[in-house]
Amino acid sequence: MTRVFRAEPYDLVFDPASTALVIIDMQRDFLEPGGFGSMLGNDVSLLRASIAPCKAVLEAARKAKMLVIHTREGHAPDMTDCPPSKKARGGLKVGIGDEGPMGRVLIRGEKGHDIIPELYPAPNEPVIDKPGKGAFFATDLELMLRNRGIKTLIVCGVTTEVCVNTTVREANDRGFECLVVSDAVGSYFPEFNRSALEMIKAQGGIFGWVAASTAVIDAIA
């Protein structure tokens, strides 16, 4: 039975049976003091504001028995899946693969790479480890979604202008409808966050829809 998200730029009709929640990169390295984001000089509280709304949406999706997928950006310990240009960019003293306060930065299996405790995946929730910004690049995400008959994605996570926006654009090109939860995403740069959300819903929803967590929860509850 179809339902309706009250969203911008207009309402989105969806079927809960063919809808999935995708939570992007809610990792300790990005959201916790001492992580990679903090080491770069960012105020992690700007990202942490998204945790409570994201958790509320996650709990609603679990109660509705929707498919929930989590993603983590990072690389294999030998870094063979990390382009040299990505490693070198920024000329950082401590960058990807280097030892930080929570282990090697953005390396799979390290403490910092893992998802924050507040949003930790349930045993039946797939976790996609992605080497790039977009969740579809070099992963099995599209295969998982197609196999489950998923047509609509509810998207939360960080950061809005980078991994969230890239994933939504990738999903759009693959024919998925995307609803971004405005208060369950975040950026270290508030102006980037605002612009990224505007880009998604511009021109009649060129990349997707935007709605607050309360509207999303009301629709799927």
- Residue 145: phi and psi, rounded to 5, are -65, -45
Active site residue 130: yes
CB 70 within 8 Å of CB 127: yes
Q: Is the peptide bond before 167 cis (omega within 30 degrees of 0)?
A: no
Active site residue 163: yes
CA separation for the pair 202, 145 (Å, rounded): 26
The residue annotated as part of the active site, out of 54, 82, 156, 163, is 163
CB 96 within 8 Å of CB 87: yes
The residue annotated as part of the active site, out of 82, 114, 130, 183, is 130
The residue annotated as part of the active site, out of 25, 29, 114, 183, is 25
Q: Which two tokens stand for residue 5?
A: 């998200």
Q: Which residues form the catalytic set? A: 25, 130, 163
